[in-house]
């Protein structure tokens, strides 16, 4: 092995316009076979983990269910448990919301998943606060935005207490003496804070990893701090060299005050890719993919999310709207976390206008330009080089790869890029351990 080891994960294609569903090769987002294909492809390539995102309300725009992107997803826990049956080593991770769940139940589910996968479970802890999503749940949208990290922290702390309520040595199952449990209080817990007031006995014995691997995706200062305090890996949107290095240094620099070392929190940006026989082929293909990802309609809808108003009267092949965005609460799009990225809509609109003027771009071309460009474009050799360079330069510890095609979008990467990383000695050729903690180099829990 030479150099820092690269970590790779496979993100099942999401319900956004990154995923191209109109391709003849595009398969189901619901049928189990699609999940099996991607998970097995990733396992064949010795990836660290498979990742499944979550949605709890169908997205809407302009008061109607958004129908231009993939709609519909299965239940995270159920898919991951089923995938444990058809894979052997790869980590099985998913997003579970801490707002519309209760710690006892989520802790049960993750501890069960960890048992049923022999130590491969991982949990991406997210929070929501919007009443729109809350309309699907008993508790409704009760949470002020300012409290979402408070709840997330307390939720995770509570779940951790539950995971730790069994030490792991209680089940002796001595048939002759009739002693199943060594401790009459196994699983006892009591927890009280602002959000949770619970006590009793947790009913899942300690799982192989002790607790699931904790993933987080916060980008705000509070989010980064939460991750530094509690996460094993953090996702990010910063996949370029400069932004990646800044994020990496920032997050790793926060660890010491929690008594943690830099290798105890992996930085894993999400990344898309387009491969070709040559770099030129890949560039051409990437352009085609971008046009498929951003149709005229999609461009209008995306611009509406910034302008916060109906733009259906505009021509996507014409200029940007000449009016300013509607400032204030975003009311046009609901169930979509990304609108929060537009902290200063008027400034962003002015940036778009400057870009359009400079390059003589239409509305659609601007959206193609400013949204989700592929991180890695090129031949397998070029992409392997790009990935390794970024990891060695401490712009990341690896990447969560997001294919744009379901379910075969990772096949070529697994067949062509991974062997090159293995040849360089920066990516495993065999799993060395059995648990997700092993794959991530985290070692056993203290």
Cβ pair 251, 257 in contact under 8 A: no
Residue 25 interacting with other proteins (CB under 8 A) = no
Contact window for other proteins (CB under 8 A) among 77-85, 144-152, 218-226, 419-427? 77-85
- Under 8 Å between Cβ of 137 and 100: yes
To other proteins, the closest distance from the beta carbon of 306 in angstroms equals 20
> Using the rule CB under 8 A, is 381 a contact of other proteins?
no
**69 near other proteins, judged by CB under 8 A:** yes
Report how far residue 54's alpha carbon sits from residue 65's, in angstroms, rounded to the nearest whole number: 17
109 lines the binding site for other proteins (CB under 8 A): yes
Distance between CA atoms of residues 223 and 245, nearest Å: 18
Rule CB under 8 A: say whether 99 interacts with other proteins: no
Contact 160, 132 (CB under 8 A): no
Work out which of 149, 161, 171, 392 binds other proteins, going by CB under 8 A. 171
Q: Find out whether 125 and 77 touch, Cβ atoms under 8 Å.
A: no
Size of the site for other proteins (CB under 8 A): 79
For other proteins, which residue of 1, 25, 86, 256 counts as binding (CB under 8 A)? 86
Helix (H) or strand (E) holding 268: strand 266-271
Q: How far is the CB of 172 from other proteins (least distance, A)?
A: 9
| Among the listed residues 152, 186, 213, 267, the single contact to other proteins using CB under 8 A | 186
Q: Is the Cβ–Cβ distance between 192 and 226 less than 8 Å?
A: no
For the CA atoms of 156, 157, 163, 166, what is the dihedral angle to 10 degrees? -170
For 219, phi and psi rounded to 5 degrees?
-115, -20
How distant is the alpha carbon of residue 270 from its chain centre? Answer: 7
Place of tokens 């979550």: 54
294 binds other proteins (CB under 8 A): no
Q: Figure out which of the listed residues 12, 47, 100, 399 binds other proteins, where binding follows CB under 8 A.
A: 100
Nearest residue (CB) to other proteins, 100 versus 247 = 100
Considering the complex, state which of residue 57 and residue 148 has its C-beta at the smaller distance from other proteins: 57
User: Least CB distance from residue 234 to other proteins, whole Å?
Assistant: 25
Nearer to other proteins, 75 or 310 (CB): 75
CA-nearest of 71, 128, 125 to 93 is 125
Given 2, 63, 184, 242, the residue binding other proteins (CB under 8 A): 184
Question: Which of positions 36-65 make contact with other proteins (CB under 8 A)?
Answer: 36, 55-58, 64-65
- 185 lies in the site for other proteins, by CB under 8 A: yes
The interface with other proteins within residues 195-224 (CB under 8 A) comprises: 196-205, 207
CA angle 181, 185, 188 (to 5 degrees): 130
Out of 3, 72, 318, 425, which residue is the one contacting other proteins (CB under 8 A)?
Answer: 72
Instruction: Please name the residues in contact with 325: beta carbons below 8 A apart, sequence gap of 6 or more.
Output: 306, 307, 308, 309, 342, 345, 346, 348, 349
Q: State which of residues 4, 5, 32, 419 lies at the interface with other proteins (CB under 8 A).
A: 32
Report the residue number, 264 or 305, with the smaller CB distance to other proteins. 305
What is the widest separation between alpha-carbon atoms in the chain? 83
Q: Which of residues 128-167 bind other proteins (CB under 8 A)?
A: 135-140, 166
In the complex, what is the shortest distance from the CB of residue 390 to other proteins, in angstroms, rounded to a whole number?
Answer: 33
Q: Which residue, 316 or 398, is less far from other proteins as judged by CB?
A: 316
Q: Does 355 bind other proteins (CB under 8 A)?
A: no
The answer for residues whose C-beta is within 8 angstroms of residue 170's C-beta and 6 or more apart is 181, 182, 183, 186, 205, 206
């Amino acid at each position: 092995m030479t150099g820092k080891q690269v970590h790779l994960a496979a993100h099942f294609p999401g319900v956004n316009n990154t995923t191209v569903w109109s391709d003849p090769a595009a398969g189901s987002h619901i049928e189990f076979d699609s999940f099996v294909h991607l998970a097995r492809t990733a396992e064949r390539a010795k990836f660290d983990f498979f990742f499944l995102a979550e949605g709890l309300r169908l997205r809407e725009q302009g008061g109607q269910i958004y129908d231009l992107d993939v709609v519909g997803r299965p239940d995270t826990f159920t898919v991951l448990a089923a995938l444990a049956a058809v894979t052997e080593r790869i980590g099985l991770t998913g997003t579970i919301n801490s707002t519309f769940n209760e710690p006892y139940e989520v802790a049960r589910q993750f501890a069960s998943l960890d048992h049923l996968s022999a130590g491969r479970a991982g949990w991406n802890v997210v929070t929501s606060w919007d009443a729109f999503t809350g309309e699907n749940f008993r508790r409704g949208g009760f949470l002020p935005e300012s409290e979402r990290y408070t709840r997330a922290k307390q939720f995770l702390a509570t779940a951790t207490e539950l995971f730790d309520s069994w030490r792991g040595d209680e089940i002796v199952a001595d048939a002759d003496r009739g002693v199943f449990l060594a401790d009459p209080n196994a699983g006892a817990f009591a927890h009280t804070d602002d959000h949770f007031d619970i006590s009793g006995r947790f009913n899942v014995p300690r799982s192989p990893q002790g607790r699931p691997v904790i993933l987080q995706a916060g980008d705000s200062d509070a989010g980064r701090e939460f991750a530094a305090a509690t996460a094993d890996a953090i996702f990010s949107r910063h996949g370029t060299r400069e932004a990646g290095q800044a994020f990496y240094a920032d997050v790793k620099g926060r660890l010491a005050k929690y008594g943690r070392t830099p290798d105890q929190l992996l930085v894993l940006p999400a990344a898309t890719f387009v491969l070709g026989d040559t770099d030129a082929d890949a560039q051409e293909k990437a352009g085609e993919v971008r046009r498929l990802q951003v149709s005229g309609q999609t461009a209008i809808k995306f611009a509406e999310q910034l302008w916060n108003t109906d733009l259906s009267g505009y021509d996507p092949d014409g200029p940007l709207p000449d009016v300013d965005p509607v400032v204030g609460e975003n009311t046009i799009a609901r169930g979509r976390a990304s609108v929060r990225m537009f902290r200063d809509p008027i400034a962003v609109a002015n940036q778009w206008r400057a870009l359009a003027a400079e390059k003589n771009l239409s509305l659609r071309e601007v959206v193609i330009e400013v949204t989700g460009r592929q991180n890695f474009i090129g031949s397998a050799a070029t992409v392997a080089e790009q990935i390794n360079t970024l990891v060695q330069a401490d712009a990341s510890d690896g990447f969560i790869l997001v294919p744009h095609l379901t379910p075969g979008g990772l096949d070529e990467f697994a067949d062509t890029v991974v062997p090159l990383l293995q040849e360089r000695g920066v990516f495993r050729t065999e799993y060395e351990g059995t648990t997700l903690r092993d794959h991530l180099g985290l070692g056993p829990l203290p």
